[in-house]
Amino acid sequence: LKVHMKKTPIAADVDVSTLSKGTPGFSGADLENLVNEAALLAAKRNKEKVEMEDFEEAKDKVVMGLARKSKVISEEDKKTTAYHEGGHALVARFLPGTDAVNKITIIPRGRSIGITWFLPEENEFQYKIQLESRLSVAFGGRVAEEIVFGRISTGAADDISRATELARKMVCAWGMSEVLGPLSYAQEKKQVFLGREIAQHRDYSEETAQKIDEEIESLIGDSCDRTRKILNENMDILHKLANILLEKEAVTGSELDDLIRVMRPGIEFPA
C-alpha cells in the first residue's frame, strides 16, 4: 500500500496500518485502484492532500460499488437497518476476541443497504472463544431487530448462513464440541466425473449426524443468548447509536468507542 502511495500527497491523519487491515485479500492492482480513487475524491473536494476519509470512502466504492444515493429507502427500512447494523457493532465491542469495528454505515451500496466493517487481525490461529464471539456478533442484527421491533426480517439471511457454516466447522472440522470430542466429521467431496454431480461422502451414523445437528444448534442457541443479554443490558446505547446513524449515515469505530465511554464511564473493553 505504501508503494502505491509514493506519488500521492498523503495527509497526516492517514493510518496506513488501519487501511491495510481493512483491505485483506486486495491484490496490487486493487490497492493501486484504491489509492487512485481516494486521490480522485480528494481532488473533487479541492484538497491538497488525500485524507483518511477519502481512503475510507474509496474503499467502500472499490469493495461494494458506488453509493446509490438515488435509491429510495423507506424510513422504516432505514430504521431497521440502523438498528441491525448497530446491533452487530455493539455486540462486537462487548465481547472478547472480536475484530475491531472500523465503520458502521447505512448508505446503500451495491446490493446492500447497510454494513458493519471490521478490521480482521492477521493471526495464524483462531480460538474457540473468538469463534463463539463471532457467532454472537453475526446474530447482533437479527436479535436487535427482534428486541426493538418485535419482529425479524430477511436482512439477516447472510448472517445466519455464515454463522451456521462457522458453527458446523467448529463441530465437524475443528473438534470444538465437548460432546463429540476432537474428531473430524467433515464431509468429503468425491471426484467429479463427466455427467455426474459432486457427491458427498459421509462415514458416520445417523445417530452421530443427529448429535452433530444438536451441537450446532447448541452453539447457535448459546450465541443468541449472549447477544440478547448484551443488547438488553445496553439498549440505551443501541438507541443512541441508531439515531446517530439515521442522522449521519455512518459512524466510525472510534466514534462508537467514544459514545460507549460517555454512556458507560470507566468501562474497560474486553481484549
Instruction: Count other C-beta atoms under 10 Å from residue 107's C-beta.
Output: 20
Q: How far is CA 231 from CA 79, 90, 173, 183, in A?
A: 17, 8, 31, 35
Measured distance CA(74)–CA(97) in Å, rounded: 36
The letter for the amino acid at 140 is G
Whole-structure pTM value = 0.81
pLDDT tier for residue 31 given thresholds of 50, 70 and 90: confident
pLDDT (average), residues 6-29: 83
Query: Domain 2-64 belongs to what topology?
Result: Helicase, Ruva Protein; domain 3 (1.10.8)
Provide the pLDDT confidence category of residue 194 given band limits of 50, 70 and 90: very low
Virtual torsion, Cα 142, 145, 150, 152, nearest 10 deg = -50
> Nine-digit cell at 78?
432505514
**Extents of the domains making up the chain:** 2-64, 75-154+206-263
- Chain-wide mean pLDDT for the chain? 88
Phi then psi dihedrals of residue 145, to 5 deg: -60, -45
Residues with Cβ within 8 Å of residue 25, at least 6 apart in sequence: none
Kindly state the DSSP code that residue 189 receives in the 8-state scheme.
Answer: E
Find out whether 105 and 258 touch, Cβ atoms under 8 Å.
Answer: no
Considering only the top CATH level, what class is 75-154+206-263?
mainly alpha
pLDDT band of 189, cuts 50, 70, 90: low
Q: What is the pLDDT of residues 82-129, one digit of tens each?
A: 999 999 999 999 999 999 998 999 988 777 889 998 988 777 788 999
How far is it, in rounded angstroms, from Cα 61 to Cα 58?
5
Compute the distance between CA of residue 244 and CA of residue 105 in angstroms, rounded to an integer.
Answer: 11
Q: Locate 265 and state its grid cell.
A: 464511564
225 residue type, one letter: D
Catalytic residue, from 53, 56, 57, 85: name it.
85
85 is catalytic: yes
Strands 250-252 and 200-201: unpaired
Which is higher by pLDDT, 256 or 12? 256
